[in-house]
């Protein structure tokens, strides 16, 4: 059985989720802007290093 701590991604690997290549391929502003408008309350479940959360804010 896997322990929960063994499934946490270490901060040292956060660059694999938040980097300029991904930002170019998956532009968070372009992806989110049709859905999120100013004044909304948004919850980023499974935010990881915040690739989408920062744009949401």
Q: Please state, in angstroms and rounded to a whole number, the distance separating the CA atoms of residues 56 and 28.
A: 9
Contact between 51 and ligand SAM by CB under 6 A: the answer reads yes
Q: Give me the least distance between CB of 14 and ligand SAM, in Å please.
A: 9
Q: Give me the least distance between CB of 46 and ligand SAM, in Å please.
A: 3
Distances (CA, A) of 52 to 1, 3, 6, 30: 31, 27, 24, 11
How many residues touch ligand SAM under the rule CB under 6 A: the total is 7
3-state secondary structure of 47: coil
- State the residues that interact with ligand SAM by CB under 6 A: 17, 45-48, 51-52
């Amino acid at each position: 059985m896997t322990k929960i701590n063994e499934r946490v991604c270490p901060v040292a690997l956060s660059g694999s989720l938040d980097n300029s290549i991904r930002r170019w391929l998956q532009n968070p502003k372009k992806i989110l802007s049709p859905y999120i408008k100013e004044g909304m309350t948004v919850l980023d479940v499974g935010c990881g290093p915040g690739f989408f959360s920062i744009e949401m804010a």
